[in-house]
Amino acid sequence: MDAQALYALRDVAGIPTHPVVFLILGVATFALHIAAVQIMLGASGLTIWGALSGDAHKRRLAQSMVMVTKFMLSVAILIGVAPLLFVQVTYDPFWYTSNVLSAWWVIGFILILTVASLLWFWFNARNYKLGESKKTSCPGSAILSVILLLVVGFIMHVLTNQMLSPEKWMEWYAPGGVLDTSGRTLHEYNLPRFLFFIVMSVPVIGAVLVGYRRFYLPRLGDESLNMSREYLDWTGRLGQKMISIGGVLTVVMGIWWMATLPEKVAGFAYSPWAIISLLALLGFAAFARWVNAGRMDSLWAYAVLGVGAVAGIVVAIAREILRWDILMGVHNYNAMEYPVNMDWYSTILFFATFLIVGGGALAYMITVAWKAGQTKGVYTPGPVISRMGDIAIALIALWIIQYFAIGFYVWLS
Amino acid sequence: MDLIGLYPTWYEPGIGSGWVVGLIATIHVLFSHTSVGAALFFMALATIAYRQNRPELLDFIKKYGLFLLVFSYILGSITGPGIWYSTTVASPRGISSLIHSFVWKWATEWVFFVIEVVGVYLVTYLVGKVDQKTHLKLTIILGLASYTTMMIILGILSFMMWPGKEEWFTEGGYLLGFYGDNTFAQLAMRTAFMFAITAVVGSIVTSGFKDQAFRAQMNRWLAVMGIVSTIIGAALFGWYLETLPEYAHLIMENRLQAWFEPSIYAILAGILAYFVFMLITPRMITTAVASLATVAILVFGLWPVETARESIRKPFVSGQYVYSNQVIARDVPGMGIKSEMPILEEHGWLKTHAFIPDELRTVTPQNAARVGEALAITMCSNCHSLSETGIRPMKNYLGGVTDIPAIKTYLLAALATGNTMYMPKIPMKDEEAEALAVYLATLTDKTVAERYAKEKSALAQAASVEE
* Res B454: pLDDT: 93
Percentage of residues in chain A with pLDDT exceeding 90? 95
Instruction: Judge whether residue A20 has pLDDT over 80.
Output: yes
- State whether B8 and A100 contact (CB < 8 Å): yes
ipTM: 0.95
- State whether A358 and B74 contact (CB < 8 Å): no
> How far apart are the CA of B88 and the nearest CA of chain A, in angstroms?
6
Mean pLDDT across chain B: 93
pLDDT (tens digit per residue) in B220-248:
999 999 999 999 999 999 999 999 988 88
* Res B432: pLDDT: 98
Instruction: Choose among A85, A101, A169: nearest Cβ to B99.
Output: A85
Residue B116 pLDDT level (bands cut at 50, 70, 90): very high
Residue B22 pLDDT level (bands cut at 50, 70, 90): very high
Give mean pLDDT, residues A233-259.
97
* Res B246: pLDDT: 86
pLDDT (tens digit per residue) in A280-321:
999 999 999 999 999 999 999 999 999 999 999 999 999 999
Instruction: Judge whether residue B250 has pLDDT over 90.
Output: no
Query: Which residues on chain B are in Cβ contact (under 8 Å) with A380?
Result: 130-131, 134
Instruction: Judge whether residue B305 has pLDDT over 90.
Output: no
Instruction: Choose among B93, B335, B357: nearest Cβ to A341.
Output: B335
pLDDT (tens digit per residue) in A371-389:
999 998 999 999 999 999 9
Cα B299 to chain center, whole Å? 15
Instruction: Judge whether residue B307 has pLDDT over 90.
Output: no
Prediction pTM value:
0.95
Give mean pLDDT, residues A110-137.
94
Give mean pLDDT, residues A42-65.
97
Give mean pLDDT, residues B77-87.
94
Percentage of residues in chain A with pLDDT exceeding 70? 100
Q: Is the CB of B433 inside 8 Å of chain A's CB atoms?
A: no
Instruction: Judge whether residue B263 has pLDDT over 90.
Output: no
For residue B179, give the nearest of A346, A339, A341 by alpha carbon: A346
Instruction: Judge whether residue A136 has pLDDT over 90.
Output: yes
Mean pLDDT across chain A: 96
> How far apart are the CA of A191 and the nearest CA of chain B, in angstroms?
24
- SS3 sequence, chain A? CCHHHHHHHCCCCCECCCHHHHHHHHHHHHHHHHHHHHHHHHHHHHHHHHHCCCCHHHHHHHHHHHHHHHHHHHHHHHHHHHHHHHHHHHCHHHHHHHHHHCHHHHHHHHHHHHHHHHHHHHHHHHCCCHHHCCCCCCHHHHHHHHHHHHHHHHHHHHHHHHCCCHHHHHHHHCHHHCCCCCCCCCCCCCHHHHHHHHHCHHHHHHHHHHHHHHHHHHHCCCHHHCCCHHHHHHHHHHHHHHHHHHHHHHHHHHHHHHHCCCHHHHHHHHCHHHHHHHHHHHHHHHHHHHHHCCCCCCCHHHHHHHHHHHHHHHHHHHHHHHHHHHHHHHCCCCHHHCCECCCHHHHHHHHHHHHHHHHHHHHHHHHHHHHHHHCCCCECCCHHHHHHHHHHHHHHHHHHHHHHHHHHHHHHC
Instruction: Judge whether residue B467 has pLDDT over 80.
Output: no
- State whether A349 and B108 contact (CB < 8 Å): yes
Q: Is the CB of B344 inside 8 Å of chain A's CB atoms?
A: no
Reported as half-sphere exposure (CB side, CA atoms, 13 A), residue A28 has a value of 6
* Res B248: pLDDT: 87
* Res A222: pLDDT: 86
* Minimum CA–CA partner of A176 in chain B: B357
Instruction: Judge whether residue A344 has pLDDT over 80.
Output: yes
A15, A81, A163: best to mutate for the B interface, most B CBs within 10 A: A81
Q: Which amino acid is at B217?
A: Q
Residue A48 pLDDT level (bands cut at 50, 70, 90): very high
Q: Of residues B464 and B280, which shows the higher confidence score?
A: B280
Residue B127 pLDDT level (bands cut at 50, 70, 90): very high
Give mean pLDDT, residues A35-52.
98
* Res B259: pLDDT: 81
Give mean pLDDT, residues B329-351.
97
* Res A128: pLDDT: 86
